[in-house]
A and B are shown apart, each in its own frame.
Chain A
Amino acid sequence: MNIQHELHPNGIPVIQIPGRLAGQETRKIREKLQPIINVSSALVIDCSKLEYIDSSGLGVLLEGLKLAISRNGDLRLAGLLAKVQMMLEITRADKIFKIYPTVEEAVASFNSNTLQSGGM
């Protein structure tokens, strides 16, 4: 899994997870998320290339969200493919995460509310 991590011009980290977020593959994203959230607790996960997610994948995202919230931030999802969206709906995770159609909208949502990014 080639996880891409870049900083949006607005200062929000955007992490793109391609392929599958399931089983053993979740370890990589778990290892990657924690240091990013330690630096910036407001972040966006770009799911536009994420094709499959299972309960362990959702668990990792939830861990990230919990950590981000504990640091007064948030972890938001963007660009979900239909199957991943369906999985989130079935597991009720869509009620927990803030989900946006595009990365731009997800990033903009941070700017339009009181959350700040960077070192929170």
Chain B
Amino acid sequence: MKALIILREKDCGWLREIYSAHPSMFPVCNKPLLEYFIDFAILNGCSDVRVVFDEPGAEIERYFNTGSRWGICMSYGSFKKSDTIDHIIEKNSRFSQNSSLLILDGFFFIHYDKRINYGNWHTSSKSSLSVTCQSGSILFAGNKNCLRNISSAPPQVEFALSPLESLDDIYQIAMQVLAAEQHHYVLPGYGVEKGIILGRNVEIDRDVTVNEPVIVGDNVRLSSGAVIGPLAVIGSNVIIDKGTHVQESVVVEESYLGSDLTLKRKVVNANRIFSFREEHSMVSEDPFLFSSVKTHIPLPTLRRLVNSLAALLLAILMCIPFLFITSWMKLRGNVTFRRVTYFTNNQRETFHVSEVVNEGKSLAEKAFVSLSLHRFTLMFQAIQGKILLIGNRLLEVSKKNRKQLGDFEEYYPGVFGYSEADDFPEEILEVEVSERYYTVHRNILQDGRMLLKILYSSLVTSR
């Protein structure tokens, strides 16, 4: 038997507003909806599956490829929006040839049980059989001519369809699968305890609480104090920050959830949050609370090289003004140096540097600050790679700062601080929030932009 899966944009297009890939790839318990179709086709004894769509489905082809991972042969095709099911079957007649055909037409969820043999529900019938719901149907056709004589499948068939017409439908199904039907499907990950399924490369801090049932995807980080579940679906490439609670909720892949948040009966997809009790959604523009996690290959060596080269270039540019202005200030007798010790990282490594003490009173001193020359001596630390050109605020060695660094593993100071680019007043909560955010989300381009912003604002504000 062969399976023909028909994906019509009119049935699933509503999901495109909130999901950028093909709607049939939307995950239910971290498994694409379409994969449930494939699994069901396999349980029905299909070894050849063709997926046809009226809108391009590159993600589908990339994910399922030849089907070898499922031990089947998969192929893909397209049809016109105006094509009826007869047209579609006709177009795919070379695929179906004379074998019996299982047709999955529409956008729905199939409740089946992998432990049941579905090879027999259709064999006893002489006519074609169908199981339907509001948003689609499953048809069994002995051959293509049988489609003229369709009758409903007997009520005792051991599967059912649930329509998918809103995100609420998908949410309800995810919760149902997690709560009561986990063993009916092959779900990605491995069961560490009853009701807890974890993917690969899941990093869980020591004091994270996981209450079953929970399913967690690949490459997930659950930070300290987080409480996950009961009834939580965490997609792949997700970061849940410190102290955040996720309960009866779905966090779609590649989402970042900030610290100390509470999610109950919500679906989060990057910065979009859907609430089901009140039936509304919200787009957060605040990256400290919700954002997308961009998956990219880290390039620490390249980044270090760029950092050192940029620091060298800046040091060369600063060299002459620094020598000229300090000489001028020396002649006027108002230059003093002080030796400072800063932390290099949260492992309490330190470095020493001599800084020019500047009160910013005279014209020379103002020029010194506006050209950022007071940071000149720090450039040599950045060239050596001990600190970054732009990173976290430099913290002097002190008891208070030592304590502050205790829970800031990613601390990496820079000659210029991230919070300076955001221009927040000193000593307010936003400085710390901003620093922690950029520490997690830093990249070379953004660092460059922020550095230029600091240099520019330093020039402008010191005038």
A residues neighboring B (CB under 8 Å): 22-23, 52, 54-56, 59, 82-83, 86-87, 89-92
Contacts and interface: CB of A to CB of B under 8 A. Distances in A.
Interface residues of B, number: 20
Given A22-B285, A54-B285, A92 B278 contact: no
Interface string B410-437: 0000000000000000001110010000
Contact of A90 (B273, B285, B288, B429): B273
A63 to B, nearest CB: 8
Contacts of B278: 82, 86
Contacts of B285: 22-23, 52, 54
Interface in B251-302: 258, 260-263, 266, 273, 275, 278, 280, 282, 284-286, 288-289
B323 to A, nearest CB: 39
B430 A90 contact: no
A102 B261 CA distance: 26
B433 A90 contact: no
A23 B285 CA distance: 10
Contact of A89 (B262, B280, B429): B262
Contacts of B263: 90
Contacts of A56: 286, 430
A92 B286 CA distance: 16
B280 A90 contact: no
A55 B428 CA distance: 13
A90 B245 CA distance: 9
A54 B284 contact: yes
Interface in B407-463: 428-430, 433
Contact of A92 (B260, B284, B430): B260
Given A82-B278, A82-B280, A90 B286 contact: no
A102 B285 CA distance: 27
B286 A54 contact: yes
Interface of B: 258, 260-263, 266, 273, 275, 278, 280, 282, 284-286, 288-289, 428-430, 433
Contacts of A90: 261-263, 266, 273, 289
B280 A54 contact: no
B260 A55 contact: no
A55 B261 contact: no
Contacts of B273: 86, 90
20 contacts: A22-B286, A23-B285, A52-B285, A54-B284, A54-B285, A54-B286, A54-B288, A55-B288, A55-B430, A55-B433, A56-B286, A56-B430, A59-B429, A82-B278, A86-B280, A87-B284, A89-B262, A90-B261, A90-B262, A92-B261
Contacts of A89: 262
Contacts of B258: 55
B433 A91 contact: no
Contact of B275 (A52, A86, A92): A86
A6 B261 CA distance: 34
B289 A91 contact: yes
Given A54-B285, A90-B266, 10 more contacts: A22-B285, A55-B430, A56-B286, A59-B429, A82-B278, A87-B282, A90-B289, A91-B262, A91-B289, A92-B260
A108 B194 CA distance: 52
Given A55-B286, A55-B288, A55-B289, A83 B280 contact: yes
B282 A86 contact: yes
A13 to B, nearest CB: 24
Nearest to B244: A90
A22 B288 CA distance: 12
A62 to B, nearest CB: 8
A22 B289 CA distance: 13
Contacts of A52: 285
A54 B262 contact: no
Contact of A54 (B260, B266, B289, B428): B289
B352 to A, nearest CB: 36
A90 B261 CA distance: 5
B289 A83 contact: no
Contacts of B286: 22, 54-56
Contacts of B430: 55-56, 59
Contacts of B284: 54, 87
Contacts of A82: 278, 280
Contacts of B288: 54-55
Nearest to A89: B262
A114 B323 CA distance: 65
B262 A92 contact: yes
Nearest to A85: B278
